[in-house]
Amino acid sequence: MARTRWFLLALLVVVVATAAVLAPSARRGDSGAAAFASAAVAGDGSRAARTSVATASTGRHAPDESPARGLAVPFPVVAEEASPALAERRELGRLLFFDPILSAENNLSCAHCHHPDLGFADGRARALGRGGAGLGPARTGGVPLRRGAPSLWNAAFAPALFWDGRAATLEEQAAGPITAPDEMGEDPERLTAELAAIPEYARRFRAAFPPPAPAAEAQAPVSFQHVTAALAAFERTLLARDSRFDRFAAGDRAALDESEKSGLKLFLSPMTRCVECHELPTFTSRQFKVIGVPDAPDAPPDAGRAEVVGGRYYRGAFKTPTLRNVALTAPYMHNGAFATLEEVVDFYASGKGRERIPQGLYVDDFIGAFQLSAAGRRDLVAFLRALTDERPPQPPPAAVPSGLAVVPRLNRNPAPPPGAAHRSQE
């Protein structure tokens, strides 16, 4: 009898341990995740429902609070050098960002490819570099670049920059386009000489980067290092975190309409698995994924992350972009393969990325077909549009110290008011 009891006890321990190991991997059938999505979106305020949802999805009991708190995840802290001159540094960076003086021919600014009215991108499938004219989709001429201009919204939170992650900091990223021959093509020494010869820039650099008192006369504040530091300081202010989704997550249950709430459920569901790569609150992640995006028809295959770190598993891998302000940054993917959010959703739902496996790509195992109704597609797109920050972007300055022409406003905002995307297709 004692031997039998010990056997049964040992068997119970094995069963419990096995269940604990296997439970996290059963994602597509994760009823806890589905329960969390439904309860958080529906706004079930009962303590019993809150506790059961938290227990099912995390294994822990939740405090007596609104389930929306599960969506209100704190943003990361922006890593930034402490300086009493930070405000001056940011303003200097803003002026430099919009000033074509950063380019060899003094006709191309950062804002030409990262325009505030285009989601700090350029509205093109692939960017046009040096020698072009115009803005956004209307830009012509110029050197065709391999990839689209990524949005700068929330770049402050990114641990790696560019589609392939080749820059570790915003300072390093800023230096790339300025010196790249196909982009702005500027020489750092020539640029600093130009800037130092402009009295207002000389004054602003000294205010933004005051040298230590003993070296006040010896150290020249206008340097290429300070140019990129100022640009990075400005770009760290480009934070998108005030959308209707954020108000909903904070407890305003009317911030999203019913279509957008249904889209949020789909986004969180184990069927679509969107949230597994586009994590809250930034709606991105540190990951580089092979999702099988088709190559541009007029360009050679792009190896992506493999060009930086090597390895066949990274061939065709690209940085997971943020979905914040995604309604403003069409077309989509690293090469603009998809013109609309509807096309993006269709690509994922069809599982077509797996068609690239015979071509030698190690397509992520998250990529796979799932059933999505026409109404579900509309709802999911409606939710993605609800991630648009409703604060107006910082406009271009009226003028810059160089006196060169500043990019004009485009006054474009494709994000509709609540429910408009859903109602327009009914």
Q: For 324, list phi and psi in degrees, rounded to 5.
A: -65, 130
| 3-class DSSP state of 81 | coil
> 394: helix, coil or strand?
coil
Give me the sign of the Cα torsion angle 191, 196, 197, 200: positive
Out of 88, 91, 183, 186, which one is annotated catalytic?
Answer: 183
Rounded to an integer, what is the distance from CA 96 to the centroid of its chain?
23
Pick from 310, 315, 277: nearest CA to 295 = 315
Q: How many beta carbons lie within 10 A of that of residue 229, not counting itself? A: 21
Please list, in sequence order, all residues whose beta carbon lies within 8 angstroms of the beta carbon of residue 38, skipping any fewer than 6 positions away. 265
Alpha-carbon distance of 251 to 354, in angstroms, equals 39
Nearest to 336 by CA among 302, 309, 377: 302
Query: Is residue 183 annotated as part of the catalytic site, yes or no?
Result: yes
Residues 6+ apart with CB under 8 A from 119: 151, 153, 325, 326, 328, 329
CB 397 within 8 A of CB 96: no
Phi, psi of 210 (to 5 degrees): -65, 125
How many Å apart are CA 111 and CA 118, to the nearest integer? Answer: 10
Residue 132 pairs with which residues in a beta bridge? 141
Rounded Cα distance, 166 and 174, in Å: 12
Catalytic residues: 183
